[in-house]
Structure 1
Amino acid sequence: MDAHAAPSPEADDFTHRQLRRVGKRVHRMGIACNYGLDADGFAAALDRGANYFFWTPMRTGKVTPALREALRRDRERYVVASGPTLAVTGGNVTRGVESLLKKLGTDYLDVYQLFWVGVTSSWREATADALSKLKEQGKIRAAGVSIHDRPRAAEMSQDERLDLLMIRYNAAHPGAERDLFPRFAGRRPDVAAYTATDWRKLLKRPSGWEGRVPDAGDCYRFALSSPHVDLVISGPADRAQMEANFDALSRGPLDPEEDRWMRDLGRVVHG
């Protein structure tokens, strides 16, 4: 497969999705760069069609040079999502993007997001307006947030200044189906799901569980089987994990029996 070929313009399917607000078509298996993947694994991910990368300045030294080179080679192919460590003022937001652009050797970020809204960042007029100004300046394509507070996320989803939500969604925490997704009948941002394995809790047999235990690929398929989820953020530690995650998508969406199994397990894991 040609690692440098642009994604084909065909209709959305289980493995690809057009991000309407970001403006690019992506492979739905996004990759977080801070869990150990090295340059070899990154190159292999490109060969598998990966083109959405979640990058932070922490624990990404092994992959950053390879990401910079990919962006230099074909910037429009790839989506890079990142954000400032702290974002409680408009100044934090503005200074943060300048630092990230320099570190990644690019003149714009596809998604610039506020991390963990309500804890390390704040969605308020000053920060939201700073994001809007950065979009006007062409330094970012889309404004996003990561957030665990689902009712707050539901309110924010209707704000025209917000383009992408990064939310917890997995078999043990499917509450977005009740608290968030119904709001999308009004306005729908792009949605990236993370913690698909519930920090690996879903990969371990809980006490009293006699059924099959899923692998990480099953957890990613659960998230991607929702029509409200555009992509899932995976965190491979090495090339083998990355390859296994991509291989799992060949099994397609969960069938009804698999969905029941994952939800039954999720209820046990959640407690």
Structure 2
Amino acid sequence: MEASTPGASMSATAQASSSQDFTHRYLPTFGKRVHRLGLAGNYGIDEAGLGAALERGLNYIFWTPRQGRLTRVLREALKRDRERFVLCAGPSFGWFPGQVRRGAERALKVLGTDYLDLYQLYWLSRMSAWTEGTVEELQKLKQEGKVRALGVSIHDRPRAGKLAEDSPLDLLMIRYNAAHPGAERDIFPHLEKRKPALVAYTATDWRRLLKRPRGWEGRVPTAGDCYRFCLTNPHVDVVLTGPASLAQLDENLAALERGPLSSEELEWMRRFGQVVHG
């Protein structure tokens, strides 16, 4: 048996540590260490695949009442180890205070838990409203201990930048990908003051970044490349994935083990994103 050299051992340890730094992050917002690939269960993956995803360490869970398969798997997982998970939910519509409260209480009941790690208004201005009444209701839920942190998903980048600087929000969920990198200009510079957590979604731009544009002769990204693009930016804490199968999830996890994109890969992804955006 060939003995390993101290240098080789240290190198392997450093690589493992570097991989862990990229794939996991401690988030003060929740007081928990999370896998930076967040799980959404509404894109086809079956119950066995969802259970396997949790076993593989995914613990940032984006849940909606329409995710029946995820609900069943998640209820059992929460019974075993509630503190391991960052559980995120929101009202289907959040225009009025009553909708905000009912959404939270329904989620607590359906999932069989006494608190949500994150409660967020979805697609601000399209599915919910940021008003004195809805904000007050969010804060009441937090004061009552039913939710631990408050967030919104939002496409209006300038408004998101203002909310990042001055609001009671603990987290922003935003569109960010190689075809839509505008958050780098409109949102990221505004995070420093309060340091809200940041979650990216639409990493593949609804799969547009996985298809070869007309006239493009170079390499076409994989979904894993798209997730690595998001997570290479240090401002992004978590990126959501919605796998259609366990095989897709495993491909994405394997890609993340490669760590951040190199400068050459970043340049390639940005050029590809510009072509896709048009």
Measured against the shorter chain, the TM-score band is: over 0.9
User: How many Å apart are 1:158 and its aligned residue?
Assistant: 2.0
Question: Which residue in 2 is equivalent to 1:6?
Answer: none
Number of equivalences:
261
- Residue-by-residue CA offset, 1:153-187 (whole Å, 9 max, x unaligned): 01111234101100000000000000110112222
Moved over 4 A (4+): none
Partner Cα separation in structure 1 for residue 130 and residue 71 of structure 2: 28
Residue 224 in 1 paired to residue 260 in 2? Answer: no
Partner Cα separation in structure 1 for residue 232 and residue 80 of structure 2: 33
Which residue among 200, 203, 215 is the counterpart of 1:208? 215
Relative to its length, the structure with more helix (as a share) is 2
| AA aligned opposite 1:101 | L
Please tell me whether the aligned partners of residues 153 and 180 of structure 1 are also in contact (alpha carbons under 8 angstroms): yes
Rg comparison, structure with higher value: 2
Partner Cα separation in structure 2 for residue 186 and residue 115 of structure 1: 24
Which residue among 92, 95, 98 is the counterpart of 1:91? 98
Moved more, 213-222 or 104-113: 104-113
User: How many Å apart are 1:241 and its aligned residue?
Assistant: 0.8
Please tell me whether the aligned partners of residues 203 and 216 of structure 1 are also in contact (alpha carbons under 8 angstroms): yes
Identity %: 62
Partner Cα separation in structure 1 for residue 265 and residue 182 of structure 2: 19
Give the TM-score normalised by structure 1: 0.94
SS in 1 for 2:236: coil
Question: Which residue in 2 is equivalent to 1:31?
Answer: 39
Residue 54 in 1 paired to residue 38 in 2? Answer: no
Partner Cα separation in structure 2 for residue 230 and residue 47 of structure 1: 21
Moved more, 124-133 or 73-82: 124-133
Residue 123 in 1 paired to residue 152 in 2? Answer: no
User: How many Å apart are 1:47 and its aligned residue?
Assistant: 2.2
Partner Cα separation in structure 1 for residue 203 and residue 49 of structure 2: 21
Which residue among 153, 156, 161 is the counterpart of 2:160? 153
SS in 2 for 1:172: coil
Moved more, 95-104 or 251-260: 95-104
| AA aligned opposite 2:93 | L
Please tell me whether the aligned partners of residues 172 and 198 of structure 2 are also in contact (alpha carbons under 8 angstroms): yes
Unmatched 5+ stretches in structure 2: 1-17
| AA aligned opposite 1:261 | W
Question: Which residue in 2 is equivalent to 1:16?
Answer: 24
Please tell me whether the aligned partners of residues 48 and 246 of structure 1 are also in contact (alpha carbons under 8 angstroms): no
Give RMSD over aligned pairs. Answer: 1.4
User: How many Å apart are 1:237 and its aligned residue?
Assistant: 1.0
SS in 2 for 1:57: coil
| AA aligned opposite 2:41 | C
User: How many Å apart are 1:23 and its aligned residue?
Assistant: 2.1
User: How many Å apart are 1:105 and its aligned residue?
Assistant: 1.1
Question: Which residue in 2 is equivalent to 1:195?
Answer: 202
User: After the TM superposition, which residues 178-193 of structure 1 pair with which residues of structure 2 at under 5 Å, given as runs?
Assistant: 178-193=185-200
SS in 2 for 1:170: coil
User: After the TM superposition, which residues 159-178 of structure 1 pair with which residues of structure 2 at under 5 Å, given as runs?
Assistant: 159-178=166-185
- Residue-by-residue CA offset, 1:21-58 (whole Å, 9 max, x unaligned): 12211000101011122221112112221001101112
Which residue among 107, 112, 116 is the counterpart of 2:114? 107
Partner Cα separation in structure 2 for residue 224 and residue 133 of structure 1: 33
Please tell me whether the aligned partners of residues 171 and 263 of structure 1 are also in contact (alpha carbons under 8 angstroms): yes
Question: Which residue in 1 is equivalent to 2:77?
Answer: 70
SS in 2 for 1:202: helix
Please tell me whether the aligned partners of residues 108 and 139 of structure 1 are also in contact (alpha carbons under 8 angstroms): yes
